[in-house]
Amino acid sequence: MELKKDINAVSIDMLLIVHSEKRRAAQGTHSDLQADPGALLQRCGGFQGVGNGVRRWQKLEGNNLHGNLAEKQHLQQPQVITSYDNQGTQLTVEVHPRDAMPQLLKKFSLAKRLQGDKNGNTRPRQPGGKDAHAYPWDRSGLKSMPLDLRQFEKLDTYASQVTAKSGLDELVSDLLQEAHSDLERVRAIWIWICHHIEYDMAAAQEKDRQAFKPTDILRTQKTNCDGYAGLFERMCRIAGVQCMTVPGYSKGFGYQTGQSFSGEFDHAWNAVYLEGRWHLVDSTWGSGLVDTTTSKFTFLYNEFYFLTHPALFIEDHFPDNKNWQLLKPPQSLRQFENNMYHKSEFYNKGMLSAHPETSVIRTVNGKATVTIESCAPTLFMFMLNGKQEHGLLSFRKNGMKLEVYPPTMGTHKLQIFAKGNSDIYSSVLEYTLKCNYVDMGVQLPAELHQPVGPSWFSEQMGITKPSHPDPLIHTSDGRCSISLGVEDGISVLASLHGDDGPITEETQRRYIFQLHREKRVELKVQLPHAGKFALKIFVKKRQEPGNYVFVFNYLLCCANTKVNWPVFPESFGNWGQDNELLEPLSGVLPANRNVPFKLKLHGIAKVLVKGQDTWPLTLNHEGYWEGSCSTAGCQEVYVMVLENANHNFYSYILKYKVNAQ
Q: Which residues are catalytic?
A: 225, 267, 282
Helix H or strand E segment including 483? strand 479-486
Q: Where are the alpha helices (DSSP H) in 385-492?
A: 456-460
- Spatial separation of the C-alpha atoms in residues 69 and 72, rounded to whole Å: 8
Name the packing angle between helices 182-196 and 168-175 (round to 10°). Answer: 120
Residue 311 backbone dihedrals phi, psi, to 5 degrees: -70, -20
The residue count of the chain comes to: 661
Contacts of residues 559-564 at CB distance under 8 Å and 24 or more positions apart, as own/partner, are 559/476, 559/530, 560/476, 560/477, 560/478, 560/530, 561/529, 561/530, 562/530, 563/477, 563/478, 563/527, 563/528, 563/529, 563/530, 564/478, 564/528, 564/529
> Using CA atoms, how far apart are residues 243 and 241, in angstroms rounded to an integer?
6
Contact predicate 449/553, CB 8 Å = yes
User: DSSP 3-state assignment of 297?
Assistant: strand
**Residues with Cβ within 8 Å of residue 372, at least 6 apart in sequence:** 351, 353, 354, 355, 380, 399, 400, 416, 418, 428, 429
CA atoms within a 13 Å half-sphere pointing along the CA-CB vector of 109: 3
Rounded distance between C-alpha atoms, residue 359 and residue 317, angstroms? 16
Distance CA 655, CA 640 (A): 9
231, 197 Cβ separation under 8 angstroms: yes
Strands 43-51 and 54-59: antiparallel
Q: Which residues contact 487 (CB under 8 A, 6 or more apart)?
A: 462, 463, 464, 519
Dist CA 389 CA 382 (whole Å): 8
The tally of CA atoms less than 13 A away on the side-chain side of residue 654 is: 31
- CB neighbour burial string for 379-408, b if at least 16 within 10 angstroms, e if fewer: bbbbbbeeeebbbbbbbbeebbbbbbbbbe
Question: How far, in Å, CA of 549 to CA of 463, rounded?
Answer: 12
Q: Phi-psi bin for 268: left (phi > 0), alpha (psi -120 to 50), beta?
A: beta
